[in-house]
Chain A
Amino acid sequence: MQASNNIPYYLTAAGLFILLKFAFTVADNNDLTFLLKPTDRLVGLMTGSYSVYLADNGFYNDKLNILIDKSCSGFNFWILCFVTFTYLGIKHLDKAIHKILIIPIALFCAYLLTIFVNTSRIFVSVVVQNQTNILFANQQHLIHEAVGIITNLSFLVLTYYIIEKILIHRQQNAKPA
């Protein structure tokens, strides 16, 4: 594998990352419905609760008293996953067509992972904050943030590690040409 041949793919992924990052700065809740809606549905499914969509504020869940909006859409996590998965794929795949295809595939897989991780983060935050709201009444924002970091980073590292193991295993078992 010629690593230098990978530069165009890496630059494409980096370009997409920057483009998406800029798009996020101008996006509003309506633009992020593709992330917010499935997350809200899954949170509702797990907790047996419902929310209403307010264009200016996002999805408001009355029972849980939470707002799922742009700031917790998981967009940054999504594009981070996309870049790391793309990096992995390009590093371990040999054929040019596979390297091209891995970019949209990584984008989609990162999307699915983001929905799952973001739902988990919100659900765990709600449960933990509900259990600690008396003992740590003044530190709820820190607890919320800490749960977010732990959940996002752990799942990111775990997924990355598992995918890399699978790709290495696939490479080692590949029949020689």
Chain B
Amino acid sequence: MRNLLNPKWLFIINTLPIVVLFVLFFGQFNIIKTLLDENNIQLWKSFGLTLGILGLLNFAYAVYLTFKKQNVSVWYGVFALLCYIPFVYLYGYYFDKMIPFSIPQWMISGNIFIYVGTFLMPTLAYSLFVLVTHFTPETKEYKAWVNFLIAIGIPVAGYLFSQLILPLWQPFNSEFSIHAILILIIVATLVFIFFLVRGILILASKKATVWQKWQLAWKIPIAIILPLIGLSLNNGHLFSGLRGFSGNNSGIFGDFDNFWFYILAVVNGVLICLPNFDNKIYRLLLFIGRSITFAYTFYFFLVFLPFLPLSVVALIAVGTGFLMLAPLLLFVIHTNELSKDFEYLKTLFSKKLIFGISLLGFFIIPALITATYLKDKSVLNETLVYLYSPDYSKKYDIDKTSLQKTLNVVKQHKDKNNDVLLGGQIPYLSSYYNWLVLDNLTLSDTKINYIEKNIFRQYFY
């Protein structure tokens, strides 16, 4: 890979494109120069002179390295990026003054704006490559923190290149500078946070025995307290004034107000916090319990995984990130506990049996949810048959609670004034409900009205 650091590449990626660029722009300048005023011509000269100097310096540097038989230095990457990025950016900024709108379009080469970005892009890409090559040595050993910086530096450099440098090859608007500043601020913040998190993890791993000794001190908050606070806060039972900063009345992340969410949070938390005694039956029962509630932990892990990056930033910024991080930490702890149980039990039972039990346990909650939904579907179908094509020889016993729940969901879908984002919606589960119970369909107002009138003796407007 270091062959690419041969200075001869500089002639190809820098000198040649700049010569072609000069030829193209010289031709364009000759066509329109009579229509340009003094200021416009001054800009042409300034940009031409600057690019000429940059090109000549590159050429001289490449010749010098070729004679000295040296590779391209890392400083070339730094200086080239620092010189050419502002050049391309300033060119984009002053382009409308170099070629004013007063000049007839037919006199201008269609793609002249992108020429500069296109022809200088190889230099920018090569500079970045020089930096990456320098910071990913094949043999050299660095300190751990430098290795970490290098490890995260490559994707960060790639991101910066794709977001800040690559867009320069084509026209960009005035908001590009805001975009660039925003990216630089966030990149700096995230790199800092990555280092901070790494530092905390190193410190934590050094105190592993202390963590082990006082495990309930962190397990109880993560497994029981934070999930309960999170659910209460989300559902508006805690600090109701904060219930959605937008002022709406719904859960921020979804409608988790069903009491089962709270019950499962407590049961799950207690099961995780229970000590791992060396007792065969106790451990097996604990493993079964943890396997059953793992579906609950996994569900919230799925819901909150997208918030992982934001939660870390929120943690630093306002401290509330703890609540968003709790489901992710809980997932790690729960998986770890299951793994410990598995390791213990596999010495007492067959691996297949333990694995089968855990799999079966995992599907119990989803199976119960499915059974409840299927019951709702059956009640709805029974109601429709009872009202529209009744079998008079049969006695109908309609579960009104189940039917009311289904009607509420349908009404909620129909409520056009419902501007609440996730109002009444439970991530993933609502979609599953709509598919399983309603076949992704709805009921007409007339039918809802008819059902309510005949079953509940109510009227729907």
Residues of A within 8 A of B (CB): 1, 3-4, 6-7, 10, 21, 44-50, 64, 76, 79-80, 83-84, 87, 91, 119-121, 123-124, 126-128, 130-135, 142, 145-147, 149-157, 160-161, 164
Can you offer 16 A-B residue contacts whose CB atoms are under 8 A? A3-B1, A7-B1, A7-B4, A45-B428, A48-B430, A48-B434, A76-B162, A84-B158, A124-B310, A130-B421, A132-B246, A134-B245, A150-B309, A150-B313, A156-B155, A160-B152
Any A CB within 8 A of the CB of B151: yes
Minimum CB–CB distance for A12 against chain B, Å? 14
Given contacts A46-B427, A127-B253, A146-B186, 6 further A-B contacts (CB under 8 A): A46-B303, A80-B158, A131-B245, A147-B310, A157-B194, A161-B152
- Interfacial chain B residues near A161, Cβ < 8 Å: 151-152, 155
Give the secondary structure class of A's interface: helix
Q: Is the CB of B253 within 8 A of A48?
A: no
Contact with A along B300-324 (1 / 0, CB 8 A): 0001011111101100000000000
- Interfacial chain B residues near A147, Cβ < 8 Å: 310
Q: Is the CB of B183 within 8 A of A149?
A: yes
Any A CB within 8 A of the CB of B2: yes
4 closest cross-chain pairs (CB), A and B? A120-B306, A48-B430, A154-B309, A48-B425
Given the known interface contacts A4-B2, A80-B159, A80-B162, the answer about A124 and B182 at a Cβ–Cβ threshold of 8 Å is no
- Interfacial chain B residues near A134, Cβ < 8 Å: 245-247
Minimum CB–CB distance for A60 against chain B, Å? 16
Given the known interface contacts A46-B427, A84-B155, A124-B307, the answer about A6 and B1 at a Cβ–Cβ threshold of 8 Å is yes
Q: Is the CB of A164 within 8 A of B305?
A: no
Q: Is the CB of B422 within 8 A of A157?
A: no
Given the known interface contacts A48-B430, A127-B421, A131-B246, the answer about A150 and B159 at a Cβ–Cβ threshold of 8 Å is no
Q: Is the CB of B431 within 8 A of A151?
A: no
Q: Is the CB of A131 within 8 A of B190?
A: no
CB-nearest residue of chain A to B255: A48
Q: Is the CB of B155 within 8 A of A157?
A: yes
- Interfacial chain B residues near A48, Cβ < 8 Å: 422, 425-427, 430-431, 434
Q: Is the CB of B309 within 8 A of A145?
A: no
Any A CB within 8 A of the CB of B272: no
Alpha-carbon gap, A126 to B422, bound state (A): 10
- Interfacial chain B residues near A21, Cβ < 8 Å: 166
- Interfacial chain B residues near A133, Cβ < 8 Å: 246
A-contacting residues, B164-180, CB 8 Å: 166, 178-179
Q: Is the CB of A151 within 8 A of B309?
A: yes
CB-nearest residue of chain A to B161: A80
- Interfacial chain A residues near B63, Cβ < 8 Å: none
A-contacting residues, B190-248, CB 8 Å: 190, 194, 244-248
Alpha-carbon gap, A128 to B138, bound state (A): 43
Interface centre among B138, B309, B434 (most CB of A within 10 A): B309
Minimum CB–CB distance for B283 against chain A, Å? 30
Alpha-carbon gap, A123 to B155, bound state (A): 23
CB-nearest residue of chain B to A49: B425
A-contacting residues, B31-74, CB 8 Å: none
- Interfacial chain B residues near A130, Cβ < 8 Å: 244, 246, 248, 421
Minimum CB–CB distance for A50 against chain B, Å? 8
- Interfacial chain B residues near A79, Cβ < 8 Å: 162
Alpha-carbon gap, A157 to B247, bound state (A): 35
Alpha-carbon gap, A10 to B145, bound state (A): 27
Interface centre among B151, B162, B427 (most CB of A within 10 A): B162
Given the known interface contacts A80-B159, A161-B152, the answer about A131 and B425 at a Cβ–Cβ threshold of 8 Å is no
Alpha-carbon gap, A3 to B154, bound state (A): 17
CB-nearest residue of chain B to A6: B1
- Interfacial chain A residues near B131, Cβ < 8 Å: none
Any A CB within 8 A of the CB of B276: no
Interface centre among B313, B427, B430, B431 (most CB of A within 10 A): B431
Given the known interface contacts A7-B3, A48-B426, A48-B427, the answer about A153 and B156 at a Cβ–Cβ threshold of 8 Å is yes
Interface centre among A87, A157, A160 (most CB of B within 10 A): A157
Any A CB within 8 A of the CB of B81: no
Alpha-carbon gap, A149 to B252, bound state (A): 22
Q: Is the CB of A145 within 8 A of B179?
A: yes
- Interfacial chain B residues near A150, Cβ < 8 Å: 186, 190, 309-310, 313
Q: Is the CB of B190 within 8 A of A157?
A: yes
Alpha-carbon gap, A126 to B170, bound state (A): 30
Any A CB within 8 A of the CB of B187: yes
Interface centre among A47, A135, A145, A153 (most CB of B within 10 A): A153
A-contacting residues, B74-118, CB 8 Å: none
- Interfacial chain B residues near A128, Cβ < 8 Å: 310
